[in-house]
Chain A
Amino acid sequence: MATDVSPLDGVPLLDVENLQIELITAHGVIRAVDGVSFTVGEGETVTLIGESGSGKSTTAMGVLRLLPEGLAVLSGSVRIAGRDVVADPRAARALRGRTVSLIPQDPMTALSPVHTIGRQLGDALRLRHPGLSRAETRERGTELLAQVHVPRPETRWKAYPHQFSGGMLQRVLIAVALAAEPRLLIADEPTSALDATVQAGVLDLLMELQEVEGIGMLMITHDLGVARVVSDRIHVMKEGRFVESGPAGTIVDRPAEPYTRALLAAVPRLGAWDEDGLTGAVAR
């Protein structure tokens, strides 16, 4: 689908090697990410899972070079389609919105509140294809909105973010991410700000898109249920390091580390459904 597809010759889409990220804070320097290495290939989903503060989102933002300049120090290497964005921040700028896209954590704050959905999606489309006319932009944009199952995309084109629900906004943001025709999607907790009933729909959509488009995906989540459903491989992260890595099934069904078992134990499970619905509907 992307116009500039170059064969990777066995080079992974995303190749992270010994990545360290130090954050400069008011309380001193914090090593948020401490030497992690992983790869994501075409059509693969790799998940980083861990509790809050484990460094998983910092890793994702570091890969995109979106951490504040001067407050984050990166070392090691991050190669996206062969280009090292740690050594060359300009490479990151060139890759963002073209080869790699982000699906952000909180859809409610991720779009400019004073610009229409169409304007923001259109801007993203024209960044990828500068020659698009207004009508062509709108046509492709509504197609994208339809693809992510936003109802009545033609009429929604002129709507503002505050006129959408969180789940619908996340779909819009996925459409904006797809406008870049990326080969790699970085999804930073794409469902954590959404209601449980909406989460499943957004995950289904991501998996559907991946199947159709063959995009590689780096998923960040704290939810093992999500990780189990979408991932090929899972890396369990704690205090900036990977404590356990492996295929999704193995990590979820036969976790070796106590930390992973603790994460598993934190997942809510559906209990037996009582006829009167009063007891044990959801047992933790």
Chain B
Amino acid sequence: MPKYLARRLGQSLLTVFLTLTTVFLLVRLAPGDPAAAYAGPTATTADLARIRGEFGLDQPLIQQYGIFLRDLLTGNLGTSYSFRAPALDVVLDRMPYTITLAVAAIAVTAVVAVPLGVWMARRADSKRELGANVLTITGQSMPDFWTGVMLLTVFAVLLPVLPASGFTSWSGLVLPTVTVAILQLALISRLVRREMTTALNSPYITVARSRGFSERALTWRYALGNSGVPLITAIGTRFAALLNGVVVVEVVFGWPGVGSLVVRALETRDYPLIQATVLVTATLAILVQLLVDLAYPLLDPRVRLGKAA
């Protein structure tokens, strides 16, 4: 077990490092000049050259990369061009908002999608289940910016019961959470339905039914118990994705999370800020994935740690 953990952590470090390197190169290959974005349209050529020198962008790429790696080892990810503050601090300031939204959305998703999927599996192919199917497919098909704008129109403009933008009180969390959750729960409930339909048609369910167990016990204890691994995998993967920031939803609702930060960082070609964002979100996503993997042997005794990896 410790050996497995050490190997997984090593793999994770390597993944983060390769991701950072790729991003380091890609942002510099992309068109656009940070100095021009920083100085504005009235800047002279001399101004631009001075700013490039200040940002260290006048040096050869390989040298910039060397400095980046050296600073990375000391935990220094550079100074954000537009915030004029340590890039890592800027990102970490935004993280609580993104984590709050991600946790709220995934909690709503799990609480609604699991019972909904189980219900759909038990009523498989009935007329009411067909109705639920139509609803979830609709939920899956609605783009989140559209859902967000519709919710805003109804609950912040027509019936002004909820704040439209920003995070000044907890009620500000409701609309972004619902917007994110609608898409996620459409996906997760359909997965739960598929897994539960398979489980409920397994021979061990028929045999357990022959022992006199109630349908409730068969469903929640035996069938759901056997759907644990795919369920946790799906929810974990969705959660990791949400931690990277829900860009569109954050922009629509003016949510001060990492998603809207990334948009600003890209607009201003703020290289250190982009790199810091990638470092933080990639690390979080990989940690969540690691936790999901560590949960497997608890959910399915046939999974043996280390052997599978």
Contact = CB atoms under 8 A, between A and B. Distances in A.
Contact of A180 (B212, B226, B299): B212
A184 B100 CA distance: 58
A112 interface: yes
Contact of A110 (B204, B217, B221, B226): B204
Nearest to B125: A70
B212 A109 contact: no
Interface in B201-217: 202-204, 206-213, 217
Given A112-B222, A112-B225, A112-B226, A64 B202 contact: no
6 contacts: A93-B212, A102-B207, A104-B210, A110-B204, A120-B208, A179-B211
Given A114-B228, A115-B222, A124 B211 contact: yes
Interface string B270-303: 0000000000000000000000000000011110
Contact of B207 (A98, A111, A115): A111
B208 A162 contact: no
A95 B302 CA distance: 34
Nearest to A113: B302
A96 B228 contact: no
The contact size tier of chain A is 20 to 34
A95 B212 CA distance: 7
- Secondary structure type dominating chain B contacts: helix
Contacts of A109: 202-204
Interface in A172-193: 173, 176-177, 179-180
A109 B205 CA distance: 10
A131 to B, nearest CB: 16
The contact size tier of chain B is 20 to 34
Contacts of B217: 123
Query: Nearest 10 CB-CB pairs, A to B?
Result: A97-B212, A102-B210, A96-B212, A109-B203, A97-B211, A110-B207, A160-B301, A104-B207, A112-B204, A112-B222
Interface string B221-238: 110011010000000000
A110 B299 contact: no
Contact of A114 (B208, B209, B301): B301
Interface string A95-136: 111100110101001111111100010011001000000000
Interface string A52-96: 000000000000101000000000000000000000000001011
A110 B207 CA distance: 6
Given A176-B211, A180-B211, 18 more contacts: A64-B210, A66-B209, A95-B212, A101-B210, A102-B207, A102-B211, A104-B206, A104-B207, A106-B203, A109-B202, A110-B204, A113-B204, A114-B300, A114-B301, A114-B302, A123-B211, A160-B301, A162-B301
Contacts of A120: 208
Nearest to A61: B206
B300 A113 contact: yes
A101 B207 CA distance: 9
A95 B210 CA distance: 9
Interface in B178-227: 202-204, 206-213, 217, 221-222, 225-226
